[in-house]
Amino acid sequence: MKLAIIPGDGIGKEVTAEAVKAITRVGEAFGRTFELEHLPWGADYFLETGITIPPDGYDTLRSFDAIFIGALGDPRTPENRHARDILLGTRFELDLYVNYRPVKLLDERLCPLKNRGPKDVDFVVFRENTEGLYVSIGGRFKAGTEDEVAIQEELNTFKGVNRIVRHAFEFAKAHGRTKVCMADKSNAMQQGHALWQRVFKQVSSEYPAIQATHYYIDALAMYMVLDPAQFEVIVTNNLFGDIVTDLGATFQGGLGMAASGNIHPGRTSMFEPVHGSAPKFAGKNVANPIGAIASAALMLETLGLTKEAAAIDAAILKAVRENQVTADIGGKLGTREAGDFIAKEIR
């Protein structure tokens, strides 16, 4: 299999090295060859060349079976142009409409919620990944003055909403999950989110065996904290999904633990930890590599390599249970040493 590897910026580079270690090790253990091609795109490359992503960059990415990306964002490039082109650009250009973010607690001691254990925190969030407020339609008028007007439009299309809601139900059906919860803000956002309401009613009626519930996004945030066990599958828009999955990550032990996939079923998809480039930790060998390594497992699972993915997940679980982890989740290891432990346990 041919995999594109984009380490990116800051801790992205460090955690990607550990994900690559895990991929290489699982290949050895299962007799598989992964052809890894490292792409240098990121802040350094942009600052040196002025290029965020080359003109044929998206076509290059399409030629791989999957893409792994660390994180993008650098204090030297405050406008974040390279991150927009590489990360959001790839999501849009490759039409990766499913942002798949599992929220799974591995050990009770990692959860900041009182008396909650792994059986209480085990759900997935599907975030719409190609529309919403992130398409950047709008503009600024009289920018920088006291008369400034800033407009940012939220894009919601039937096609976009229908395919992500349908994906959530199909996932529930295929994985023995019995509930799907849709979250919007249709009480206040009465145009775009009326479309989410209509589609959710229509699609849910086609899945009578699955219980369909709805919360406004503010209530969802509250219920996630009060009673996470009620959730199995959550589906929501781009912005709300972005926010509630950081909340979900805290239930797992923090941003360093959370994995994600940007998926177009059947096409080249892209996998990345939920966290960013955490500049304050960059180059210090302190970042938690688990989110990145778990994202590599998601990538292999999506490519149909379920045994390989399960072997990586089992090694992560062992590392957590034996506290062979980084300081953010109570361990004493550095990024490389935590990655080494996990790689060694993959079998």
Ligand X SMILES: NC(=O)c1ccc[n+]([C@@H]2O[C@H](COP(=O)([O-])OP(=O)(O)OC[C@H]3O[C@@H](n4cnc5c(N)ncnc54)[C@H](O)[C@@H]3O)[C@@H](O)[C@H]2O)c1
**Radius of gyration for the alpha carbons in the chain, expressed in angstroms and rounded:** 20
If one asks whether residue 280 binds ligand X (CB under 6 A), the answer comes out as: yes
Exposure b/e, 319-336, CB count within 10 A at least 16 = b = bbeeebbbebbebebbbe
CB of 183 to ligand X, least distance (A): 21
> Please, are residues 319 and 325 in contact by the beta-carbon 8 Å criterion?
yes
Beta strand residue intervals within 129-210, DSSP E: 132-141, 149-155, 179-184
Kindly identify the residues of this chain, within the stretch 284-303, that bind ligand X according to CB under 6 A. 287-288, 291
Q: Vertex 233, ends 229 and 236: CA angle to 5°?
A: 120
If one asks whether residue 333 binds ligand X (CB under 6 A), the answer comes out as: no
Total number of residues that touch ligand X (CB under 6 A): 22
One residue of 80, 162, 211, 285 binding ligand X per CB under 6 A = 80
Report the residue number, 11 or 298, with the smaller CB distance to ligand X.
Answer: 11
If one asks whether residue 261 binds ligand X (CB under 6 A), the answer comes out as: no
> Please, are residues 207 and 101 in contact by the beta-carbon 8 Å criterion?
no
CB of 213 to ligand X, least distance (A): 29
Report the residue number, 69 or 181, with the smaller CB distance to ligand X.
Answer: 69
If one asks whether residue 252 binds ligand X (CB under 6 A), the answer comes out as: no
If one asks whether residue 267 binds ligand X (CB under 6 A), the answer comes out as: no
If one asks whether residue 85 binds ligand X (CB under 6 A), the answer comes out as: no
If one asks whether residue 11 binds ligand X (CB under 6 A), the answer comes out as: yes
- CA 80 to CA 42: how far, in whole Å? 10
**Rounded alpha-carbon distances, angstroms, from residue 344 to 18, 205, 226, 347:** 12, 47, 38, 8
36 to 55: interface string for ligand X, x by CB under 6 A: --------------------
Stretch touching ligand X by CB under 6 A, among 70-78, 152-160, 168-176, 211-219: 70-78
- CA 25 to CA 297: how far, in whole Å? 12
Residues 6+ apart with CB under 8 A from 255: 246, 249, 273, 274, 275, 291
Q: Footprint of ligand X on this chain (CB under 6 A)? A: 11, 15, 71-73, 80, 83, 87, 254-256, 272, 275-280, 287-288, 291, 328
